[in-house]
Amino acid sequence: MEELCMWCEETPVTETEDTVYWELPDGSRAIEIKEVPSRHCPSCSCTYQDHETIKGIENHLFIINTSILANTLSYKELMEQPKLLKKNYFDFT
């Protein structure tokens, strides 16, 4: 079954990669994350990340040392950062 756009609910979306800007959990700064797994809708031209990708980035930023992150890095580089905790203990979902 093809995945429909979460915004316009029209045409099937395609998998792509995109650059996003993310504020760190402590609010100290924002970083640029390149090559983030994304979805693109040809109907409404919206490019977005699915819930799992967003949750993965958010959780990972809570459990790594964000003070050593470069201002720009790839999604793969971000997700390969060593964890300081086993999981995000602030996620109550």
Over residues 69-82, the pLDDT tens digits come to 999 999 999 999 99
Full-model pTM:
0.88
Over residues 7-17, the pLDDT tens digits come to 999 889 999 99
b/e per residue, 20-53, with b = 16+ CB within 10 A?
bebeeeeeeeebebebbebbbbeeeeebbbeeeb
Q: Looking at the DSSP assignment, which residues form a beta bridge with residue 15?
A: 39
